[in-house]
Amino acid sequence: MGRWDRAVTPVVSTILVVAIVVVLATTISVFLALVNH
Protein backbone atom coordinates (compact mmCIF):
# COMPACT_ATOMS: atom_id res chain seq x y z
CA MET A 1 0.00 0.00 0.00
CA GLY A 2 2.96 2.29 0.64
CA ARG A 3 3.98 2.16 -3.00
CA TRP A 4 0.36 2.80 -4.02
CA ASP A 5 0.23 5.93 -1.83
CA ARG A 6 3.53 7.18 -3.26
CA ALA A 7 2.20 6.63 -6.78
CA VAL A 8 -1.14 8.34 -6.10
CA THR A 9 0.15 11.42 -4.25
CA PRO A 10 1.84 13.07 -7.28
CA VAL A 11 -1.27 12.39 -9.37
CA VAL A 12 -3.53 14.06 -6.80
CA SER A 13 -1.14 17.02 -6.56
CA THR A 14 -1.13 17.38 -10.34
CA ILE A 15 -4.93 17.24 -10.49
CA LEU A 16 -5.19 19.93 -7.80
CA VAL A 17 -2.74 22.18 -9.65
CA VAL A 18 -4.60 21.68 -12.94
CA ALA A 19 -7.92 22.42 -11.25
CA ILE A 20 -6.52 25.66 -9.78
CA VAL A 21 -5.13 26.72 -13.16
CA VAL A 22 -8.48 26.02 -14.84
CA VAL A 23 -10.33 28.07 -12.22
CA LEU A 24 -7.89 30.97 -12.60
CA ALA A 25 -8.13 30.82 -16.40
CA THR A 26 -11.93 30.79 -16.24
CA THR A 27 -11.98 33.72 -13.80
CA ILE A 28 -9.62 35.74 -16.01
CA SER A 29 -11.66 34.92 -19.12
CA VAL A 30 -14.89 36.04 -17.43
CA PHE A 31 -13.20 39.17 -16.09
CA LEU A 32 -11.83 40.09 -19.53
CA ALA A 33 -15.23 39.39 -21.12
CA LEU A 34 -16.94 41.72 -18.62
CA VAL A 35 -14.30 44.42 -19.16
CA ASN A 36 -14.53 44.19 -22.95
CA HIS A 37 -18.31 44.52 -22.85
Q: What is the pLDDT of residue 33?
A: 96
Instruction: Delimit the domains of the chain by residue range.
Output: 1-37
Q: What is the pLDDT of residue 1?
A: 59
Per-residue pLDDT tens for 1-37? Answer: 567 677 788 899 999 999 999 999 999 999 999 998 8
Distances (CA, A) of 30 to 3, 12, 14, 19, 34: 41, 27, 24, 17, 6
How far is residue 25's CA from residue 30's CA, in Å, rounded to a whole number?
9
How far is residue 37's CA from residue 18's CA, in Å, rounded to a whole number?
28
User: DSSP string of 7-24?
Assistant: HHHHHHHHHHHHHHHHHH
Q: Is the pTM of this model over 0.85?
A: no
